[in-house]
Chains A and B, each alone.
Chain A
Amino acid sequence: RKEVEQDPGPFNVPEGATVAFNCTYSNSASQSFFWYRQDCRKEPKLLMSVYSSGNEDGRFTAQLNRASQYISLLIRDSKLSDSATYLCVEGEGNTPLVFGKGTRLSVIA
């Protein structure tokens, strides 16, 4: 059974801090990876895709390590509005995406 493992947290960090989340996936054939953000009592929303070469979107950087089968998300200069649960997601071929249970982040003033 495919699984995505994440530290549930919570990660409590002050505003302006840099925080990193990792997640590991079990399916070595996985081809696509994503990070989603889910606010309390809201639907998951796509934050960013994760490419083999790594990618950056403003304060957010995603990295993929295929050899060790893990994905990372780095958030720089944390804002109060970054407080949410971050879901790690992997996908392969014609099967539905596999979602991790999420890592909860709380940014404190």
Chain B
Amino acid sequence: NAGVTQTPKFRVLKTGQSMTLLCAQDMNHEYMYWYRQDPGMGLRLIHYSVGEGTTAKGEVPDGYNVSRLKKQNFLLGLESAAPSQTSVYFCASSYSTGNQPQHFGDGTRLSIL
């Protein structure tokens, strides 16, 4: 059972570079989410999607873009990476939003130099 899979697991970027983080789920979940987690800050929601072709802003969307072209995939893009975006990024998915638990991938550790 793969569940939620994130790629890559680790990445180091230089300021100004761009990259895309991929999240894939095989549970046929409608809803998918991207979070960042910094030391002492807890999880902060970046963007989420309530279904294929839809996206919505979370708590900290600036500097990120997302796309949900296929139900099983949710992509997070950094157009011009900044050191402030150094963080651990978690993807999650769920059957619905407020009533069902979310299932998390094992994270992407991103460092921006």
Measured CB to CB, the residues of A under 8 A from B are 30-32, 34, 41-46, 49, 87, 89, 91-97, 99-102
Residue of chain A at shortest CB distance from B91: A43
Whether the pair B102, A97 counts as a contact (CB closer than 8 A) is yes
Whether the pair A95, B97 counts as a contact (CB closer than 8 A) is yes
B interface size (C-beta, 8 A): 25
Whether the pair B101, A99 counts as a contact (CB closer than 8 A) is no
What are 20 pairs between A and B in contact, CB < 8 Å?
A: A30-B98, A31-B98, A42-B107, A43-B90, A43-B105, A43-B106, A44-B90, A45-B104, A46-B101, A46-B102, A46-B103, A91-B97, A95-B98, A96-B31, A96-B48, A97-B94, A99-B42, A99-B43, A101-B41, A102-B42
The prevalent SS among residues of A at the interface is strand
